[in-house]
Structure 1
Amino acid sequence: MAQRIPRLSATRNHFMFRRISVAILSFSVLLAAAGCAESPTAANNDTLNLAWNAQPPTLDPMMTTSVVTRDIMRNVFEGLITINSQNEIQPMLASDFSANETFTEFTFTIRDGVLFHDGTSMTIEDVLASMNRWMTTTSNGKQYFGGAVLTTPDDSTLVITTPAPLFTGLDLLADTSQIAAIQPKSIIDAASVTGVEDYIGTGPYEFIKWQTDAWVHLQKFDDYENVGFAADGLAGDKNAPINEIYFRFVADPSTRLAGLQTGEYDGANAIPFDSAEALASDPSIDSYVNDNGFNAAIFNKQQGLFADPAMRHAVYAGLNLLDIQTAAFSNEDFFSMNGALMTEEQTPWYSDESLDEYNPNDQEAAKEMLDAAGYAGEEVRILTSREYDDHYNGAVVLQEQLTDLGVNATLNVVDWATVLQNRTDPAAYEIFITGFSPVAVPNSLVFLSATWPGWTDDAGISAALGAINASTSTADAEKAAADLQKAYFDYLPIIKYGNKKTITAVRADVTGYDFQTGDIFWNATR
């Protein structure tokens, strides 16, 4: 649950942060004259104007792992199950769910009386079509549910039978990175290779319009059917007290901040870290900070220089990750140095296995390793974007450090949507920069997948992921998680810099806002 940071006296030299469940609340402008009538920015009780730092590549959550798409469209789309603030699995469009003792059979009873935004009732045929699409389209679906059989014993029951035990099966189905969104079968049937053409879900807000490069407009769905228990993280009732939400795309952080301070926007995400103290002293604004996963440099392992693991280990050996983190987040109020795949709070998944290999920071050893690996001056293109300041600022220092090692490193700075497009082309880069939100289970870490950009393909990682899913006890899971982390450091698919935080700020009259793996607006009001 998001907690407000206490305001401080302007005479304080620093400010203290509580741990809170962050909100990536965002809001901005870019009003074209043609869109002004439909796109109000004046504050009123019926509209939230949210300034967002990046644009979505698509609004179909099954076609991307972009957090922009995730955070906007989970107001529109829902899955059978979800997670609460403690990462416990809760019902959403399913009224009941279960797994058998061997974790090979997952059964869901769908709720009665749920309407889609087009006014039609959700049926078992819609659920079956949606889940089939999720399993054949998304990274988690293809990797872990390949070969699964879906059956419908009656008009209200879906059974998913997997060919092998899947200990994390329910967690994967509740994962928020690519929601297993239930949509009308007619929409699924009409989908092309680029995604669905109509965004019709069951959520508290319905999609109205996407004005490219400007905003996405959502409107309260008057016939939304609540689950009937208190809101808790991503679970529970979604009351939608605000009628309209505009997600406005404003890449420049100073513009987002200025709009928030003048009241043009009701909130802003990705607040510059050097503005934190000033905002904490502003009585008209509430600021929030929280752990927000980690940033990383993703190696292109399909072709080119870093298809060779010796090259990956060589450059990693020479990096000073503390300097990269400091450049990205200003000071240690906003980051921590830890190379583990999961956080210490995430039992049984956290492990300290192989952490002695994290952040070696040995430039002489790195130069020797580069020579031994046969580096001959090949260009290392680093793909990044200014739309995420922390990504860009860290990338600048990464390039400088690689150059100091004798590596011919260059920055390719583009808009975020282009990063998401170009990272799928193995001929377009050697490294790209991105961030990863917290996940409930290590199997949801997309950079461990052979089908996700960067293309991890390692027998040790695959075996450890398989062992996690074959677990039958906490002890089994702990051992498998440790094995996974050892395999990760042996293979080195990415350079994890360390853990990070983020700052979100909202106008003080906005209440009911919350956060869990992204911002939650469906109970926000003023």
Structure 2
Amino acid sequence: MNARPLALAVLVVGASALTACAPFDAADGTVGDAPSAVTIALPAEPPGTDPILTRSIAAWNIYYALYDGLTRIDRSGEVVPGLATEWEADETLTEWTFHLREGVVFHDGSTLTPADVVGTYRAILGDESSTNRAAISMLEAVEEGADGASVVFTLRNPYSAWASMVATIGVVPEAAYAEAGGSFADAPVGTGPYSFVSSTSGVDYRLTRNDDYWGEAPAVQDVTFSYVSSEDARLTGVQSGSLDIALVPPNQVAGLESSTRASVITEAGNQVVFLGTTPAGPLADPALRRAISLAVDREALADSLLSGLAEPANQLVAPGVTGYVDDLSAPETDVDEAKALVAASGYDGSPITLEYASTGGVPMASEVAQAVAGALAEVGLTVELVGSDQPSFSLKLANSEIGGLYLNGWSPSVMDGDVVVNQILAGGPEDYYDDAEMAELYLEQQASEGEERLEVYERIWELNDELSYQIPLYVNSSSYAVDPAVEWVPAVDGIFRAADIVIAE
């Protein structure tokens, strides 16, 4: 499957929420004296903003502005140098050495040292409440290098994606984090392109440019992340001028094409929306789960319901993500075969719940859930829809409390399929099947590289398809309503990189 090219449309200039625009010299990255500001809508407030304790998509929008990892994942999905200028692994992929950049200064004026990196990772491993802890569970030890300018990681098992994983861990000053005594998020300190100004729970998170940043200076002076869960409110916010950038669902894109007050930018993304299953009641039968996969018309979802702003999916990662397998075979929609499987299963008509986040999650989740329920009804299944807000839904996912079907989307920020397989197929909170063969394949891909690793991924996707554990539906594109003065290319992972935003003069 190849993602279709998506057009970027910039429409008529209208009312702007932007303050006076800062002249920006793209040649040398300098910024003029005039102030500039941008307000970005986030569909959900992060469950926390301490980079040691909280790992979430919503939080990364803030983390990528405030902090740096040893590596960075740029907006195209490539792993590039961050606080480390270079790195290497031994032949076993269990010892990784990262060589630190010189002259990096934290927002509090202290200089980055290897001890800060070591302290960051040890703090994560030492706190059982940290949601980062599971992500780096393969880490056995981290030490300062003998040269005084590097950090050495020793892993419990081979892990080929470690250079991608460290991009998602924001490094904090060891002394300042310890002194904060659990309140670091109240006045956070990083090395990123922006520094903290203020945070108001349920409202917004404010940042200002770090003029001592080691990298290219951001063009925009002040950035506000505003929490707006309602899709309609995000759209009207851009059109009214109170917001400058906001994610909008596919069904709002056509209306924006005639707007004189907002532009629309659409880019292919890396979010795969899937139908999760659990072995609850009739779903314990793999033949019934297979029927569900055959019943759903992925082409219709992508082309009709989602206005062509999605691509049918046959695996749980998107093109461009490591682990995506070209030309992978997958079942076609076959309603007759699905009906036969349901009839043969002895299904008694008892309702099967389908849970989803009605706001703040997968775009148009309610409409997609209704379409899926309709398709399953056509083959003889009774589906009960259960919508909830994103925080409640996420909590149920994290605690493995789903008892039927559920609609979710995974967009791996590390741009690697390892985290997806772990979380939903091999031991994570969305793995309800404890499949020994899948667990073995998961470890095998961690220890593999290149084509060999892709061959393992192909076996993973084939096993998942055979048993219909997690049923891929489509790859979402991302569409944004933007103030026409904003010059910006969205990142493939859907996470805002505030430092990439430029305001036209």
Q: TM-score, normalised by structure 2?
A: 0.81
Report what 2:360 is aligned to. Answer: 387
- The one-letter amino acid of 2:290's match is H
Q: Percent identity?
A: 20
Report what 2:425 is aligned to. Answer: 448
* Closer/same/farther in 2, CA of residues 448 and 119 from structure 1, 3 Å limit: farther
For structure 2, the 5+ residue unaligned runs are: 22-35
Report what 1:79 is aligned to. Answer: 69
Report what 1:169 is aligned to. Answer: 162
Match for 1:221 among 198, 210, 216? 210
* Closer/same/farther in 2, CA of residues 291 and 80 from structure 1, 3 Å limit: same
Question: Residue 499 of structure 2: SS of its match in structure 1?
Answer: coil
Separation (CA, whole Å) in 2 of partners of 1:143 and 1:309: 30
Match for 2:477 among 482, 486, 501? 501
* Closer/same/farther in 2, CA of residues 58 and 345 from structure 1, 3 Å limit: closer
RMSD: 3.5
Match for 2:91 among 69, 76, 101? 101
Paired residues in the alignment total: 472
Report what 1:248 is aligned to. Answer: 226
Report what 1:35 is aligned to. Answer: none
What does 1:13-28 align with in structure 2 at a 5 Å threshold?
none
CA shift for structure 1 position 471: 2.2
- The one-letter amino acid of 2:206's match is H
Report what 1:482 is aligned to. Answer: 458
Separation (CA, whole Å) in 1 of partners of 2:180 and 2:425: 28
Question: Residue 276 of structure 2: SS of its match in structure 1?
Answer: strand
Verify the 8 A CA contact 1:126 1:183 in the aligned structure 2: yes
Report what 2:31 is aligned to. Answer: none
Report what 1:129 is aligned to. Answer: 119
Report what 2:141 is aligned to. Answer: 149
Question: Residue 90 of structure 1: SS of its match in structure 2?
Answer: strand
CA shift for structure 1 position 443: 0.9
Separation (CA, whole Å) in 2 of partners of 1:490 and 1:195: 47
CA shift for structure 1 position 513: 5.0
- The one-letter amino acid of 2:428's match is T
CA shift for structure 1 position 266: 1.6
Separation (CA, whole Å) in 1 of partners of 2:180 and 2:387: 32
Q: Does 1:377 align with 2:350?
A: yes
Separation (CA, whole Å) in 1 of partners of 2:184 and 2:377: 40
CA shift for structure 1 position 505: 2.6
Report what 2:24 is aligned to. Answer: none
Q: Does 1:492 align with 2:468?
A: yes
Match for 2:343 among 356, 364, 368? 368
Separation (CA, whole Å) in 2 of partners of 1:393 and 1:253: 13
String of CA shifts for 1:113-143, please: whole Å, max 9, x gaps. Answer: 3222333332222211212345677778646
Report what 1:268 is aligned to. Answer: 246
* Closer/same/farther in 2, CA of residues 477 and 262 from structure 1, 3 Å limit: same
* Closer/same/farther in 2, CA of residues 74 and 291 from structure 1, 3 Å limit: same
* Closer/same/farther in 2, CA of residues 54 and 196 from structure 1, 3 Å limit: closer
Match for 1:419 among 380, 385, 393? 393
Match for 1:118 among 75, 94, 108? 108
Question: Residue 105 of structure 2: SS of its match in structure 1?
Answer: coil
For structure 1, the 5+ residue unaligned runs are: 10-39, 227-236
* Closer/same/farther in 2, CA of residues 375 and 172 from structure 1, 3 Å limit: farther
- The one-letter amino acid of 2:473's match is Y
CA shift for structure 1 position 382: 1.4
Verify the 8 A CA contact 1:391 1:435 in the aligned structure 2: no
String of CA shifts for 1:54-79, please: whole Å, max 9, x gaps. Answer: 32222245655542222232111221
Report what 1:296 is aligned to. Answer: 274
Report what 1:230 is aligned to. Answer: none
Separation (CA, whole Å) in 1 of partners of 2:470 and 2:352: 18
498-507 or 108-117, which deviates more: 108-117
Report what 1:5 is aligned to. Answer: 8
412-421 or 185-194, which deviates more: 185-194
Verify the 8 A CA contact 1:317 1:365 in the aligned structure 2: no
Separation (CA, whole Å) in 1 of partners of 2:54 and 2:464: 24
Separation (CA, whole Å) in 2 of partners of 1:465 and 1:360: 30
Report what 1:159 is aligned to. Answer: 152
